[in-house]
Amino acid sequence: MMELSEEEYQSLWRSSMTNSILNPIVSLDPFLYVSGKEISNDADALVNIGKMQNYLHAHYGAGVMIEQKFDDGILYYNPGNQNAKIACYWRMPTISTAHKVFQITVNAQAHTGSNYVYVTITAGASTATLTLNLTPSTTAYYQGSITFASISNSTSYMLVQMTVQGHLQVNSICVEALPLSSVSDGAVYQPNGAGYFYPIGDDAFISDKPLSSAKGRQLLSNLRLLQKRPRMLFTASAIDVNADGGTTNTFNGGSIHPQKTFSYQDLIAMTANLPQWEGAITLNLNLVINMYVINPSAYDYEFYLWSNKIVVDAGETGKWISILTKYPSSFDAFLVNLTYRLRPLRINPLLSGDPLDPTLISSPIQSISLWGA
């Protein structure tokens, strides 16, 4: 009988298999297969390790990517015509090239006539739009989905835009990346991590089959890649509806002042507690910060995010900036249940005068998104 090389054997067991997902989740003992232990598949423990990796691939990083509320009718739009307007921008990370389905939920109130909310997702060279036709004179939830035929390996993030048209008020939006319902054969590329996840076939670890070093190496390789898979940690967008000078919301009678960029007071109030997982620094895990900035003033704008100094040049007409950084080694954090630490996210502008001075109120930041492992 011809003997297979390690690479040939690894290629053989990776292919042409059913790749089940462990569901329901059961507890797995990580010490069953350490050095010196007898190799056993009692209670399908070894098989379940492969199924658990498939489950992690299907679900890890999926879920809510963007969730933003617009209180007190602040996202109100009534231009007096049917001109559409891009109101909000966000960026979100690509989970893997197999995660191609996104569910979108919007709560909105509409006036009479034709009123629409459009949510567009751009993934590399591919763009898809969900159109929500609002019911006249009604406040309701609207839901739909966007599915991409494919996502290229070079697409590490996606752009999300919400466009409004008509006479309406948007109260909230939620964009979710749906987990995989099944795991297909074949390697799946993960742009954030620059590697392939190889699904584990159901018969890879059944009894009386060789337990080669190739299988162990692949389990470890998959885990190392999953550790780098990003998860959305924070995101927010200002509101660009051509109403910077203020307007009256006819739905609630309130005077509102939606701003194209965040105010200084917004930045001071914009805090989020981010988990610092044990080993994040040792594993060299990254945080990615994306901001859309615009600065029509005659002065440069400087601010800090942790130790990262960011300068937006005077006269900037609008661009995305992306910052790759690390989890801060000095966290000024506090313990939660003695299991992990939280790091407060704060943006610190450098102002040359009194922050209550009206000329210093606005910042150049129109959108901010932060993700990390």
pLDDT one-digit tens code per residue, 73-99: 999 999 888 789 999 999 999 999 999
Burial class (CB in 10 A: 0-12, 13-18, 19+), 167: buried
Average pLDDT over residues 50-73: 91
**Is the residue at 118 inside a domain?**
no
Same domain, 265 and 364: yes
Percent of residues, the chain, with pLDDT higher than 70: 77
Residue 344 CA, distance from chain mean position? 18
Same domain, 190 and 325: no
**Is the residue at 17 inside a domain?**
yes
Residue 153 has what pLDDT? 95
- Looking at per-residue pLDDT, the higher value among 192 and 349 belongs to 192
**Is the residue at 149 inside a domain?**
no
Same domain, 288 and 369: yes
The identity of residue 10, as a single letter, is Q
CA 83/CA 373 separation, integer angstroms: 40
The residues with which 77 forms a beta bridge, in sequence order, are: 168
CATH number at residue 346: 2.60.120
**Is the residue at 148 inside a domain?**
no
pTM, 2 dp: 0.84
pLDDT band at 286 (very low <50, low <70, confident <90, very high): confident
Nearest to 176 by CA among 154, 190, 160: 160
105, pLDDT greater than 90: yes
**Total tally of structural domains belonging to the chain:** 2
- Looking at per-residue pLDDT, the higher value among 90 and 327 belongs to 90
- Looking at per-residue pLDDT, the higher value among 136 and 211 belongs to 136
pLDDT band at 367 (very low <50, low <70, confident <90, very high): very high
Residue 20 has what pLDDT? 72
Same domain, 212 and 278: no
Nearest to 200 by CA among 183, 212, 217: 183
Same domain, 307 and 202: no
Same domain, 358 and 266: yes
**Is the residue at 195 inside a domain?**
yes
244, pLDDT greater than 90: no
**Is the residue at 273 inside a domain?**
yes
Average pLDDT over residues 156-172: 96
Same domain, 198 and 288: no
Would you call the peptide bond into 364 cis, given omega within 30 degrees of 0 as the criterion?
Answer: no
**Is the residue at 48 inside a domain?**
yes
The residues with which 101 forms a beta bridge, in sequence order, are: 147
CB 246 within 8 A of CB 255: yes
Same domain, 223 and 325: no
Same domain, 196 and 271: no
Q: What is the pLDDT of residues 214-225, one digit of tens each?
A: 778 888 889 999
**Is the residue at 141 inside a domain?**
no
68, pLDDT greater than 90: yes
188, pLDDT greater than 80: yes
Same domain, 267 and 349: yes
Of 227, 253, 281, the residue at which a domain comes to its end is 227
Q: Which residue segment(s) compose the domain that 218 sits in? A: 6-61+182-227
Distance in angstroms between the alpha carbons of the first and the last residue of the chain: 46
Same domain, 190 and 41: yes
Same domain, 266 and 371: yes
134-143, 220-229, 303-312 — which is least confidently predicted? 303-312
CA 301/CA 314 separation, integer angstroms: 7
Average pLDDT over residues 308-326: 87
